[in-house]
Amino acid sequence: MKKISAILCSLILIAFCFVCPVSAATSFVTFAEDFQTLSFEDNTYIACNLSELIYDESEEISKQYVILSDTQKENVKSVSITANADYSILYANIAYRNGSTLNVDFLRNDCYEKLDSIRQNTTHCEIDFSYSGVDVISFTKSSLSGEYTTVTEDELYWCDFYEVTSSCEYEFDLFYGYMLFCDDSYYFVDAETVLQLCDSSWDFYPADYDSLYACKISDEELIEQLDTAMYDSYSSLTITDMLDEATTKKLSNGFLIVAFGILPLAVMIASFIIAMRAKSAYKKLFSAIGITCAAELTVFVILLLILV
């Protein structure tokens, strides 16, 4: 009896292990037998790449998220799904094992409503500083308020920018916009503005714009949080990272002049002096070094005249 119950328990456990992923997987994309219809689970939001589908036009849902019946699996080699520019249509490309392919378009009209409802229900946003050695900072959505103002070209060129997201109960982060870290102010550019400016949120780069209309953060608590995060982020940087851009530029320009100008000049003079005094092999060798230095210096001077 004990053995039978042990076997039963094991069977239940094994079945549970198999059923769990299967039931989880069924919340993804399911195809009809003839591939002419595509269904999503209605009651819950899809945990896979919903947000990426909305914000990344070239996003491909990998085939593991696509549920195929056994008959389909026998015939189909791979399925890839892409979205159009406004993400209302999904394009499925079905590659069969016999080499033929089938392209099917699916109209998808529920994306925006679902995302909007998620947006409305979340109360907190966050900025992930983890790659610069600082943790994620979290703040209320209402603190992203303030006076709308124009960010100048100079500020946009030198600013740092971080993604503002909100983690919801599902397995993806919603993109809210970008926080611009300028010299003495923080500006928030919302997702709508970002997506009007560029095709995808990943393409946004502040230095590309002459000016930008953005919300200047006035919430004291959020400013304090951002100040601390920036301070911690800077303290984790190396000495060269901490130098401001102008100093780095001057240093590297000086370094270029020393390496490509002064050093070859010194080598050229020394080589010609040695070549004059030396005999046979050394004479040829040092003359060659001197001539190469002279050629390099000529190119360097021409470049200086063109570029400076």
Binding footprint of another protein on the chain (CB under 8 A): 77, 95, 97, 99, 248-249, 251-253, 255-256, 259-260, 264, 267, 281-282, 285-286, 288-289, 292-293, 295-296, 299-300, 302-303, 306-308
Query: Which residues does 115 contact at the CB level (< 8 Å), separation at least 6?
Result: 50, 51, 54, 174
Taking the C-alpha atoms of residue 299 and residue 297, their distance in angstroms, rounded to an integer, is 5
Measured from the CB atom, is 188 or 286 closer to another protein?
286
State in angstroms the smallest separation of the CB of 65 from another protein. 18
State in angstroms the smallest separation of the CB of 105 from another protein. 21
Q: What angle do CA 188, 190, 193 make, to 5 degrees?
A: 120
State in angstroms the smallest separation of the CB of 41 from another protein. 27
Measured from the CB atom, is 77 or 277 closer to another protein?
77
Q: Answer for the pair 31, 40: CB distance below 8 angstroms, yes or no.
A: no
Measured from the CB atom, is 85 or 281 closer to another protein?
281
Phi, psi of 49 (to 5 degrees): -110, 40
Taking the C-alpha atoms of residue 67 and residue 49, their distance in angstroms, rounded to an integer, is 15
Measured from the CB atom, is 198 or 302 closer to another protein?
302
State in angstroms the smallest separation of the CB of 205 from another protein. 15
Q: Note the residue count of the chain.
A: 308
- 83: nearest Cα among 120, 109, 57: 57
How distant is the alpha carbon of residue 301 from its chain centre? Answer: 40
- Classify strands 173-181 and 186-190 as parallel, antiparallel or unpaired: antiparallel
- Determine how many CB atoms are found less than 10 A away from the CB of residue 118: 18
Measured from the CB atom, is 167 or 292 closer to another protein?
292
How distant is the alpha carbon of residue 134 from its chain centre? Answer: 18
State in angstroms the smallest separation of the CB of 281 from another protein. 5
Q: Answer for the pair 236, 134: CB distance below 8 angstroms, yes or no.
A: yes
State in angstroms the smallest separation of the CB of 62 from another protein. 15
State in angstroms the smallest separation of the CB of 290 from another protein. 10
Measured from the CB atom, is 120 or 280 closer to another protein?
280
Whose tokens are 């709308």? That residue is: 148
Measured from the CB atom, is 170 or 300 closer to another protein?
300
Q: Answer for the pair 128, 111: CB distance below 8 angstroms, yes or no.
A: no
The identity of residue 258, as a single letter, is V
Q: Can you tell me whether residue 29 is helix, strand or coil?
A: strand
Measured from the CB atom, is 6 or 251 closer to another protein?
251
Taking the C-alpha atoms of residue 241 and residue 25, their distance in angstroms, rounded to an integer, is 45
State in angstroms the smallest separation of the CB of 228 from another protein. 29
